[in-house]
Amino acid sequence: MAAKNNHALVFGASGNVGWGVVDQLLSNYPAPGIFSQVTALVNRPLTLEDSCWPLDQTTGPGLQLVSGVNLVEGTVESVSELLRSKVKNIDNVTHVFYFVYKSEPDPKEEARVTRRMLEVALSALNRVSPRLEFVVFPSGTKEYGIHIPGGLVKAPYVESMGPLPEGSQDTINYPGMRAALTKASEGRQWTWCDIRPDAVVGFVPNGSAFNLTAQWANYLSLYALVESKGAEVPFPGTLKAYDSLYNEASADIIARCSIWAALHPEKAGGGQAFNIADQAKAESMRERWPRLAAYFGLQGIAPSEDLNVLKPSEYIAKHGTVLERVGVKNSPVFKSEFLDSYGYYLDFDRHLSLEKVKTAGFAEELDPNQSWFRAFDRYRKAEMIPG
């Protein structure tokens, strides 16, 4: 692939997937010279030293980190000015990776806020980035109704499955985001796509609202300290959920697919949606949980029949001072109690078909066990969990 003066702008760069996009770009994916500059935009303060990205500027693209990008409170005018004043070469941005999320208690309000944030960002980009070629945004399996008890449609999920029933679409973020992208791209040279994973496995440097990887890294490392190595740790959920089929997506594979799509507008543009996962093969937590537990020296077993067993967030709250005593920073999970429900309400098959994205040209797969281990390794390297 020939070298090109591409400039990637990553919104939400300290989040689960945004961090992975920056990491892959700085690691010269898909090849050296494709991107000459990467600009990482974050809201909460973050330093390069704390970012845990590869910072060898001699072999990869140049990196700029910009904090204080608040799309919730921003206007088109203020965000345009912020981008002009803080982002070097904003007029040369070619590819945008939009991985911003704002949780709200009311789903309808969250959908409204999410759409407005994206509208502000896109309107600002249309003003300040005339070279823009492609925008990637992520949706997810709520598109297939996984948030509806028992699920809505039969897996494997394919992108052509129809929209959610009337009354359900205004409670998820994605329809409004697609409408915003369609409107903002009208008459423009840039196009866009929707990358669609299920559960995301990844690392974040300064905490996040919904990060199952961090939740289980905190829980299992703490469990090994309190109960000792070799202890049995039951899967936090039901037997039905333990045996349901799924295929998770690492931030690494989502990032690679996003970059591939952005560089191939002729194959991936036009507002298309693409399912993505580490592998096409569906597996269950009966296969995965023992492997994850073994990483921490534990024996992962089937769910306990004891209804009073502590859920991960409860266990962490009870024993959290143990982590402090061994001197780790911990990885904050702001919606930890919600993540406890993962092994309870997701008790149905929900695996994704990858046929469309593979046919289009992205055929990479990763070993999902290794993706979990790689994320755990990153938390250990950042001293967020014990070594």
Tell me the pLDDT tens digit for each residue of 370-386: 999 999 999 999 999 99
Taking residues 354-369, report their average pLDDT. Answer: 98
DSSP β-bridge partners for residue 38:
8, 63
Give the span between the Cα atoms of 203 and 22, in whole angstroms: 12
pLDDT at 210 over 90: no
Taking residues 287-296, report their average pLDDT. Answer: 98
Q: Which of 99-113, 198-212, 285-299, 300-314 has the highest mean pLDDT?
A: 285-299
Instruction: Give the confidence band of 2 by pLDDT, cuts at 50, 70, 90.
Output: very low
Q: Collect all residues with Cβ–Cβ distance below 8 Å to 271 and sequence separation of at least 6.
A: 178, 181, 182, 185, 191, 192, 193, 194
Tell me the pLDDT tens digit for each residue of 125-173: 999 999 999 999 999 999 999 998 888 899 999 999 977 877 777 788 8
Output the average pLDDT for the chain. Answer: 94
Taking residues 97-103, report their average pLDDT. Answer: 92
Strands lying side by side in the sheet with 62-66: 62-66, 35-41, 6-11, 95-98, 134-138, 191-196, 272-275
Cα 253 to its chain centre, rounded Å, is 10
What is the per-residue pLDDT for 104?
86
> What tokens appear for 336 in the block?
């930890």
Give the span between the Cα atoms of 141 and 143, in whole angstroms: 5
Instruction: Confirm if 238 and 303 have CB atoms less than 8 A apart.
Output: yes
Taking residues 276-301, report their average pLDDT. Answer: 98
pLDDT at 90 over 70: yes
pLDDT at 330 over 90: no
Q: Collect all residues with Cβ–Cβ distance below 8 Å to 103 and sequence separation of at least 6.
A: 110, 209, 210, 334, 335
What is the per-residue pLDDT for 162?
78
Tell me the pLDDT tens digit for each residue of 30-47: 999 999 999 999 999 999
Kindly report the backbone phi and psi dihedral angles of residue 260, in degrees, each rounded to the nearest multiple of 5, phi listed first: -60, -50
pLDDT at 1 over 60: no
Give the span between the Cα atoms of 314 and 306, in whole angstroms: 15
Instruction: Give the confidence band of 320 by pLDDT, cuts at 50, 70, 90.
Output: confident
Long-range pairs of 286-290 with CB within 8 A, sequence gap ≥ 24: 286/242, 286/243, 288/368, 288/369, 288/372, 289/235, 289/242
What is the per-residue pLDDT for 171?
80
Q: Where are the beta strands (DSSP E) in the chain?
A: 6-11, 35-41, 62-66, 95-98, 134-138, 191-196, 200-201, 232-234, 249-250, 272-275, 299-301
pLDDT at 3 over 70: no
Closest CA to 241 of 372, 351, 345: 345
CB atoms within 10 A of CB 18: 28
Place of tokens 């703490």: 222
Taking residues 222-250, report their average pLDDT. Answer: 97
Instruction: Give the confidence band of 56 by pLDDT, cuts at 50, 70, 90.
Output: confident
Give the span between the Cα atoms of 280 and 369, in whole angstroms: 14
> What tokens appear for 266 in the block?
């002729």
What is the per-residue pLDDT for 94?
98
Instruction: Confirm if 97 and 11 have CB atoms less than 8 A apart.
Output: yes
What is the per-residue pLDDT for 327?
79
What is the per-residue pLDDT for 272?
98
What is the per-residue pLDDT for 29?
97
Give the span between the Cα atoms of 45 and 22, in whole angstroms: 17
Q: What percent of the chain has pLDDT over 70?
A: 98
pLDDT at 92 over 50: yes
Q: Collect all residues with Cβ–Cβ distance below 8 Å to 26 and sequence separation of at least 6.
A: 38, 53, 54, 55, 60, 61, 63
Give the span between the Cα atoms of 165 and 256, in whole angstroms: 32
